[in-house]
Structure 1
Amino acid sequence: METLTIKTPADVLSFVGHTLGFWPQESLVCITLDANHIGVTLRVDLPKHDGAERAYARTVAGYLANDTNATSALFAVYTSAAPTAGQDKPYAAVIAALTGALAERHITIRDGLLVGDQTVSPYDDDPNPNCALPLSMIDSSEINAELVYRGSSVARTGRITLPASSKETTTFYAVEDRVKLIGQSHDHGAIEKARTLWAGILEAKTYPTDDQTIALIANFQFAAIRDQLMADIPGVDGPMEKILLAQTPGKPQWDRVEWAQQVLLHAYTLSSTHHSAPLLTAIGYINWWEGRGSKAHQYMQLALEADPDYRLAKLSDQLLGYGMLAGWNMDKETAYRTRGLGMSD
């Protein structure tokens, strides 16, 4: 893959948008760096109240420190709050606290940007409207052009919009009938049958038939089968628990992972609310593996809306809340879509 070099503010913002998959709003975005290579990208909501800047900064720094290779970081403050001449930039206290919290972890801030509704400017101590550049310049960014060419896109917001679902239809009864058949099996054959079906679906170039999809939905209703099918998604070797936590040395087959997400979203459209929580949780894991923590959290929340007692979604959302990052994203050789990206001074 051709190496892409980030040189300008427009390149930075293009990279952030394509990495997150959406344009941040009222957000702090940080990117860790190891020498001139990009590590992880973190987006968090900006604090809504004054007085908790240090606690907020320590939390953010703790997230970033999970990238053990990081030596420096970039940040961007996305806000509609405009700088005022002669006064601090918006969220100056937050950035000051973050600078100190990162320094305690031996991470320096290389640069920062203030991103408004229409312009972007350097984040420094001297607000100067003459330094602002129009956001429209992103359209001509080389990074943006290349990532669009590769099929990436940036949504206007980070809010997930699920595809239309048939919900409460005869599919419910078809899935329930299949669940009963699987439940009556008293050997390990059910898991192997489920893995064979799943492997064929992941290797195919077209969506599964309705009958295959119903079988897939039914398989995901069983925790043991669900966990194994999720572990089969990345196409890497290792213990199931290590794969689920993204802690294997092998590089995931990211094209296969993306296709699995599309198939699971397709299955969601044929699932009833009663059966959709396992599918949404699995999609949440995929987004976490890819470094999209915000979207992973939303999928876990959607799973809990479908089933408030769904244990895996509860535990997984707690894991996200603690700031745990997928191990694959700690290494540029295994991370999702970060290989081939570098910084230029």
Structure 2
Amino acid sequence: MTEKLTITGSADLLAVVPHLLGTQPTESFVVLTARAGSLGATMRVDAPAESLPLDYAQVLTTYAAHDEQATASYIIVYSDETDADGQLYPYAAHVAALTNELATARMPVRNVWLVTGTHWSEFGTDEQLPLDQITDSNANATLTYFGSATDIDFYNPALLGNRGLPVHAPEGTDADIAAACHDWAAALENPAMPDTKTARKLAAAFQHKFIRDFLMRETITTHNGSFEDVMFGKFTGRPDWNRVDHAQAVAFELMKAVPEGQRAPMLSLMGWLEWLKGHGSQADRYLKLAAEDVPAYRLAVLLRELINRGNIAAVATNAETSYKRPAI
């Protein structure tokens, strides 16, 4: 979509959020930064559980502050919870603290909304508005028309089956690494899915931890050579996000070619790529599946710890490099 999307009201803005995130948020706080005449970054975090209001607000504001061009912000609370007194507006203390922190950071909050499973409203008001206003909005219709979808999931367990024979990892020689990187690059440059023979060969390469790390790094063409920087999302420029989307689809194809117990490397790749996009919840889902496929799979465990500590990939904190949904 090359035309600029015009947002004319609250329903339009709320309709855009699932398209930006790739999923409909639930039990979440979303902060949108704003610039002169446009939106900036979009950040989603789980709704606070035991987090103190000020601590929670300072973490979110730190993330939002990465958008150095932001001059304002919006807050959206997605929740079906009620507050301790049974009122309709949950996390009021957290919203108040976040509003203050964003104002202090020179990103004053223009508006706060609550979106539940049955209605939406201006936060703190009595009027409950129908969700149809969001789904029927001009923004949602326009984005849908141009091909944007709000619930793209590369993982469909119903398609996996369990008939594939186990594959054997290569030895990990320099020649093995070079061959695997060549085959992986070819798969990512080919819009079609790999055939079964190629899929099994690549899946075998992913079974070797050292080769797996090389393939993960080579998924991002703007890497600076350091595997540690790549893993934390520190790149020299904006990644080719179409390539990343395709990599996730190919990774699922590789899982179809091998049995349970050999899918954890590809699930870990998919989880890591979701984290780079800023989709922490979806990333954690894939990584949890990886740790179930191979109990205590180390890469999945380490990445889950990183995400659950509230870390956001560096690439996702910069509006110029962060993932933009197709057709947005």
TM-score range, shorter chain: 0.7 to 0.9
- 65-74 vs 200-209, greater mean Cα deviation: 65-74
Q: Tell me, yes or no, if the aligned pair for 1:61 and 1:101 is still in contact at 8 Å.
A: yes
Q: Secondary structure at the match of 1:111?
A: strand
Shift of 1:110: 2.1
| Residue type at the aligned position of 2:187 | I
| Residue type at the aligned position of 1:122 | E
In the alignment, the residues of structure 2 paired with residue 160 and residue 100 of structure 1 have an alpha-carbon distance, to the nearest angstrom, of 40
| Residue type at the aligned position of 2:257 | L
| Residue type at the aligned position of 1:202 | L
Q: Does 1:189 align with 2:190?
A: no
Write the mapping of 1:200-279 to structure 2, written as runs, cut at 5 A: 200-241=186-227, 242-279=229-266
| Residue type at the aligned position of 1:128 | D
Query: Could you tell me which residue of structure 2 aligns to residue 133 of structure 1?
Result: 129
1:318 to 285, 300, 305: 305
| Residue type at the aligned position of 1:72 | A
Query: Could you tell me which residue of structure 2 aligns to residue 58 of structure 1?
Result: 58
Query: Could you tell me which residue of structure 1 aligns to residue 284 of structure 2?
Result: 297
Unaligned runs of 5+ in 1: none
Q: Secondary structure at the match of 1:247?
A: coil
Q: Tell me, yes or no, if the aligned pair for 1:40 and 1:291 is still in contact at 8 Å.
A: no
Task: Please list the CA deviations of residues 181-223 of structure 1 after superposition, one character each: whole Å capped at 9, or x if unmatched.
Answer: x21x6x4111110011112111212211111111111111122
Task: Please list the CA deviations of residues 9-59 of structure 1 after superposition, one character each: whole Å capped at 9, or x if unmatched.
Answer: 22222221112222222322222234444333222333456x833343334
Query: Could you tell me which residue of structure 2 aligns to residue 166 of structure 1?
Result: 161
Residues 319 and 96 of structure 1: CA distance in aligned 2, closer, same or farther (over 3 Å) = same
Query: Could you tell me which residue of structure 1 aligns to residue 100 of structure 2?
Result: 100
Task: Please list the CA deviations of residues 132-169 of structure 1 after superposition, one character each: whole Å capped at 9, or x if unmatched.
Answer: 4321122332322232233322249x9975453223x3
- 251-260 vs 71-80, greater mean Cα deviation: 71-80
Q: Secondary structure at the match of 1:272?
A: coil
Pairwise CA RMSD? 2.9
Shift of 1:244: 3.4
Q: Secondary structure at the match of 1:30?
A: strand
Q: Tell me, yes or no, if the aligned pair for 1:32 and 1:67 is still in contact at 8 Å.
A: yes
Q: Does 1:121 align with 2:121?
A: yes
Shift of 1:247: 1.7
Q: Tell me, yes or no, if the aligned pair for 1:333 and 1:339 is still in contact at 8 Å.
A: no
In the alignment, the residues of structure 1 paired with residue 315 and residue 46 of structure 2 have an alpha-carbon distance, to the nearest angstrom, of 24
Residues 104 and 189 of structure 1: CA distance in aligned 2, closer, same or farther (over 3 Å) = same
Shift of 1:98: 1.9
Query: Could you tell me which residue of structure 2 aligns to residue 46 of structure 1?
Result: 47
Query: Could you tell me which residue of structure 2 aligns to residue 73 of structure 1?
Result: 73
The count of aligned residue pairs is 323
Unaligned runs of 5+ in 2: none
Query: Could you tell me which residue of structure 1 aligns to residue 139 of structure 2?
Result: 143
Tell me: higher relative CO, structure 1 or 2? Use CA pairs within 8 A at least 6 residues apart: 1
- Between the two proteins, what is the percent identity of the paired residues? 33
Residues 227 and 38 of structure 1: CA distance in aligned 2, closer, same or farther (over 3 Å) = farther
Shift of 1:268: 1.6
In the alignment, the residues of structure 2 paired with residue 328 and residue 200 of structure 1 have an alpha-carbon distance, to the nearest angstrom, of 25
Task: Please list the CA deviations of residues 267-290 of structure 1 after superposition, one character each: whole Å capped at 9, or x if unmatched.
Answer: 122222321111011001111222
Q: Tell me, yes or no, if the aligned pair for 1:284 and 1:295 is still in contact at 8 Å.
A: yes
Task: Please list the CA deviations of residues 68-98 of structure 1 after superposition, one character each: whole Å capped at 9, or x if unmatched.
Answer: 5544321112233579xxx773322221122
- TM-score, normalization by structure 2: 0.86
| Residue type at the aligned position of 1:196 | H
Q: Secondary structure at the match of 2:191?
A: coil
In the alignment, the residues of structure 2 paired with residue 243 and residue 98 of structure 1 have an alpha-carbon distance, to the nearest angstrom, of 31
Q: Tell me, yes or no, if the aligned pair for 1:14 and 1:144 is still in contact at 8 Å.
A: yes
Residues 293 and 210 of structure 1: CA distance in aligned 2, closer, same or farther (over 3 Å) = same
Q: Tell me, yes or no, if the aligned pair for 1:332 and 1:338 is still in contact at 8 Å.
A: no
| Residue type at the aligned position of 1:10 | A
- 74-83 vs 258-267, greater mean Cα deviation: 74-83
- TM-score, normalization by structure 1: 0.82
Q: Secondary structure at the match of 2:212?
A: helix
Q: Tell me, yes or no, if the aligned pair for 1:82 and 1:116 is still in contact at 8 Å.
A: no
